[in-house]
Structures are given as structure tokens and as C-alpha cells.
Structure 1
Amino acid sequence: MLNPDDLVAIDIHTHAEEPCGSHPDDGYDDFQARMAEYFGSPNKHPPTVPETAAYYRAKKIAAVIFPVDAERETGFRRYNNDEMIEITRQNSDVLIPFASIDPHKGKLGVREAKRLIADYGIKGFKFHPTMQGFYPNDRLAYPLYEAIQEGGAIALFHTGQTGVGSGMPGGMGMRLKFSNPIYMDDVAADFPDMKIILAHPSFPWQEEALSVATHKPNVYIDLSGWSPKYFPPILVRYINGLLQDKMLFGSDWPVITPDRWLADFAKLEIRDEIRPKVLKQNARKLLGI
């Protein structure tokens, strides 16, 4: 089992890209190649969940890991939540599973969320508004949020620009507008007992994200998807100040490795007493571990 006292850090944002032994859908390899190019990633092919666990175990870092259910918008088969969770349970010393359910699945999605919480004790759910094609404050998603809130789970939302579809014709049909973090203000107001994580520095809406996280007690920010050397000054200021207890280390593995992120974070002008909060303490409190 996970022993947080032995950990160097907790990475709140890693991806389970594909199941073991399953051939990807048509177009998936092209999509992944563009993602690797966008991020300058050394991982040209997505690692399996056991490979991810081995990497994090060697680094003494725990990782929140999740798939993204975006079948409706992308046409790519999702990584089945149950399959991924079963594999993470074999690596529970370093992996913490979150699930993903497209809100467009309606009542079927709500039933799945309730079952995953009841059967597995799932701690959170990943949403990607741009990939899933919905505004976070669209009432179609509210029954799913209700199930998450009632189950005491966390909702993690992609915000800001995305590498998904970047450089592909029409951006692969991905629409950036859905991931403006200002829409999360409605969700945070309507579900005050649901912990919400705004993933990534939210370019080009960074100040909207900081505003929502400052105003709403249930909103946190993870710092994944960007090398810290590119963090805007206002984000660094809030890490050092008002939001020091709400900022979370995240890498966006496998497109950005923890090694790269942590090396650049070490060079950032962050107060010494705040670094442990960002790297582990805030996540540990949020996750209840």
C-alpha cells in the first residue's frame, strides 16, 4: 500500500494512455506522434500502466493516473475504467486511480460513477472539456457532478490550451473555448462540497483560473503540462502567496516527465517553506492520504 511518508512527491496528473495488448484505433498513432512533437516528449509511444508504475516507483513518487473518455468527440475507444483500475490495484504502492466518464453518457455515466465509487473507492474523475466537447457549466454534466459530490470524490478538469490536435488539420476538431476556466466558477458555486482541480497553467486564461481558485474554497490548481520555466510571473506570485495551500505538482506524464518538471521547478524562485506544500503536502491533504 501507499506510504506517503516515504514519497518524494505526489504527481497529481498522469495519463493512462492505452491498455496492454490492445491495438490502437486508426489515427491514434498520428495523434500521439503530434502530441510527442508538441511537448518535445522522449516517449514516442505511450507507456503501459505497469511501465508507468515502475518509473514512478524508482523515483519514489506517487502518481494519480487516469484515462480520458472522449469517444464521442475523437472516435478513439476509451481505456475502460475497470481495466485500468484493476491494473493500478496491482501497483497501489505508487498509483492512485481516477476514472473518466464523458458527461454526454447521461444516466449511464452517472450509474458508472456511482458504481466505481462504491466498488473501488475511486477518489476522483478526470474531465477534458475540449476533448469531450462540452462547457463545464452545461447542465448536462450536473447529474454526474452530483454523483461525484455525493461520493466525496474530486473532479479534475483540463483548462487552457491543449496539445491535443495541435498542428493537425482543424486542430482535430478540438475547440479551445470549452476549456476556459471561468466556466468552472459556476460549477464551484453550484457544487460547493465537490473538490475541483483546475489542471495546468490555463493559457491564455491564467488570471481567470487564479481568480476562481482564490474566490472558491473548493478549487485547486495543478501545475502540469508546462515546464515551470515557462510559468507566467503572476502564477509564481500566487504560488508564493495567496494560493500556496492550493497549488499541486503535476507533470502530465508521459508527455512531460517528472524529472524534467522537477528540475525546472527547482530553479524557480519559490520560497523554501512552500516547495514541500506544492510537491506533496497539499496533494496529501486533498487526497486524504
Structure 2
Amino acid sequence: MVIDFHTHIFPRHKGSAILSDLSNRSDISHYTNGSLESLLQSMKQAGIEISLVSRITTHPKQVISVNQWLHKCIREGIRPMAAIHPDIPDLDAYMGTLKDLGFKGIKFHPDYQGFYVDDRKMYPVYEAAQALQLPVLFHAGLDRGLPPPVHATPRRLLIVHQQFPDLTMIAAHMGGEDNYDDTKTYLLGTDVYLDTAFVLRIMEKDALAHFFSKHPIERFLFGTDSPFTDQSTELNYFLDLPFLTQDAKDKILGQNAADLLNL
């Protein structure tokens, strides 16, 4: 089983504008039109059985409607990560409802949502997620479409991990695009998961091999960041990596995610 832990989809009436805006600001291409249907077609072509999908909310009033839309997208092969904003009311009760509805975790993009990951105002969110055993996926490191500062650096993510050791944390983009040295210093060897989304073919192969040798193989998750990469290209590139055993590849491509999410 191949599981893509990191993908994005958008409503049909918003997808074109969102992707055009991102392309203009960041010079990042897109390989589908961002719809659920185009992701399912991409998955079929690539041979990916399950994709975790997410969207971002920048205001608490958006949370309920975005999650309602994501919930409607649940079907064979599609599992949603919930959108959460730290300022929503009745946080604990709402997050419990999301878990009951089948959401597999929470996705944050601290740069877009305007908080540093180790800000104490986020602690109630982490406490609730930890108690509910809901994994939290963080965009980490550089966002090409936004100016500095980076709100989720490896050092700040380590602080959260130390404060909430039982919280399942996934640091996207191998701990943070353009923050690889800090990932080596602060995250490698910890229990924090790293996903391969977007940066798999960007990282130097020597650096990639170092990451895989110094961090537990059970703490890596295959992700593509579709539609901002092509799922088939990312998967084939990963399969051709010479420094990973087949057992390690099987774990990263699906077994780790299946174990984590009880799929």
C-alpha cells in the first residue's frame, strides 16, 4: 500500500484562483487543477491507494465550513486532515467531534495562520490533540510564497515536542524546506515524524541519505504536496533511491502511515 500523507484539494469554484495566486507569488507549478476528482485521477495513474488531504483556515469563522467540505470528500482512498484555528470556541468539544467524524489529524500552516508553533496560545490546541491522540501535521520551514519570518522552525518544533512528548507531530518538508541544517541539529533522532512532501527531489542526495540514516525509519512518511508536485514523479524518484532497503521503502511509503493512523 502506498499512502501519500500530504496533499491539498480545493473546491472547484476556488481552486483555479488559489492556484494562480500561489503560482504568481511563489513560482510553483501545479500538476492537477486542485480538485478532488483530479487528485483521484493522479492517484490512479501513480498507483497510490490513499491520500491524506487538507486545507488551511486563516480565520476561526472558516473552520466549520471548511471541515464540513473536507468531510464530504471522504471516500475510498481519501482521508481528511482537519482544519483548526487556535481561536475557535469550545475547542476540546469540537476537536472531539472531528475525531468522531473520521478526521485523521490536524493540519496547521503557521505562516498563513500567523502564529509561532511554540506560542503558548497554541498549547490548549496541542493539549486537546494529545489527549485525543490526533496527529498534528505542521507546515515547516520556508514557504516560497510568503516573506520571512519562518513560524515553524525545527528549533521551535522541538520546543513543542518537549512540552508535549505524547503529541504525534509531523514536520512537513523533511523538517522544513531550507532549514535542513537546523533539522539535523534539533529534530533528527527524535520521535517527530518527517514527511517528504515537495522537497524530496530538491534536497541533495547526500543530505537525504544522511537524514534517512540518522532518524528512525519508522518516523518518515511519504508525501508529495500534490498538486504542487506530480505524484507519479515523486513516487518513482523515491523508489529509485539507492541508499534505502526495500523494507525501509515499504515502511516510508505506507506501513508507517498505516500504523500511525490505524488504516
TM-score tier by shorter-chain length is 0.7 to 0.9
Q: 1:249, CA displacement in angstroms?
A: 0.7
Q: 1:254, CA displacement in angstroms?
A: 0.4
Q: Alignment partner for residue 80 of structure 1, among 58, 66, 85? A: 66
Residue 24 of structure 2 is matched in structure 1 by: 34
Alignment pair present for 1:137 and 2:118:
yes
Report the CA distance shift for 1:49/1:112 in structure 2 as closer, same or farther (over 3 A).
Answer: farther
Structure 2: distance between partners of 1:260 and 1:14:
14
Report the CA distance shift for 1:53/1:24 in structure 2 as closer, same or farther (over 3 A).
Answer: closer
Preserved contact between residue 222 and residue 250 of structure 1 (Cα < 8 Å): yes
Q: Following superposition of structure 1 onto structure 2, how do residues 147-186 of structure 1 map, counting pairs within 5 Å?
A: 147-165=128-146, 171=147, 175-186=148-159
Match of 1:39, SS state, is coil
Q: Alignment partner for residue 96 of structure 1, among 52, 57, 79? A: 79
Amino acid across the alignment from 1:254 = P
Q: 1:19, CA displacement in angstroms?
A: 1.9
Preserved contact between residue 223 and residue 250 of structure 1 (Cα < 8 Å): yes
TM-superposition CA deviations, 1:101-145 (whole Å, max 9, x none): 122x14355443222113x13220001111111110111111111
Alignment pair present for 1:14 and 2:46:
no
Q: Alignment partner for residue 47 of structure 1, among 34, 51, 57? A: 34
Amino acid across the alignment from 1:224 = A
Preserved contact between residue 15 and residue 34 of structure 2 (Cα < 8 Å): no
Residue 96 of structure 2 is matched in structure 1 by: 114
Residue 277 of structure 1 is matched in structure 2 by: 251
Q: TM-score, normalised by structure 2?
A: 0.86
Alignment pair present for 1:254 and 2:200:
no
Amino acid across the alignment from 1:70 = T
Report how many residues are paired: 260
Match of 1:65, SS state, is strand
Structure 1: distance between partners of 2:207 and 2:121:
34
Structure 2: distance between partners of 1:78 and 1:223:
29
Q: 1:29, CA displacement in angstroms?
A: 5.7
Preserved contact between residue 41 and residue 256 of structure 1 (Cα < 8 Å): yes
TM-superposition CA deviations, 1:182-221 (whole Å, max 9, x none): 101111111111110000032332133244433532x110
Report the CA distance shift for 1:243/1:264 in structure 2 as closer, same or farther (over 3 A).
Answer: same
Q: Alignment partner for residue 211 of structure 2, among 197, 221, 238? A: 238
Q: 1:154, CA displacement in angstroms?
A: 0.1
Higher mean C-alpha displacement, 251-260 vs 239-248: 239-248
Q: 1:55, CA displacement in angstroms?
A: 2.8
Alignment pair present for 1:205 and 2:192:
no
Preserved contact between residue 182 and residue 212 of structure 1 (Cα < 8 Å): yes
Amino acid across the alignment from 1:277 = K
Preserved contact between residue 125 and residue 156 of structure 1 (Cα < 8 Å): yes
Preserved contact between residue 188 and residue 194 of structure 1 (Cα < 8 Å): yes
Higher mean C-alpha displacement, 258-267 vs 184-193: 258-267
Preserved contact between residue 15 and residue 67 of structure 1 (Cα < 8 Å): yes
| Aligned-CA RMSD value | 2.7
Preserved contact between residue 160 and residue 176 of structure 1 (Cα < 8 Å): no
Preserved contact between residue 63 and residue 83 of structure 2 (Cα < 8 Å): no
Residue 3 of structure 1 is matched in structure 2 by: none
Gap runs ≥5 in structure 2: none
Residue 238 of structure 2 is matched in structure 1 by: 265
Report the CA distance shift for 1:242/1:19 in structure 2 as closer, same or farther (over 3 A).
Answer: closer
Q: TM-score, normalised by structure 1?
A: 0.79
Q: 1:229, CA displacement in angstroms?
A: 5.2
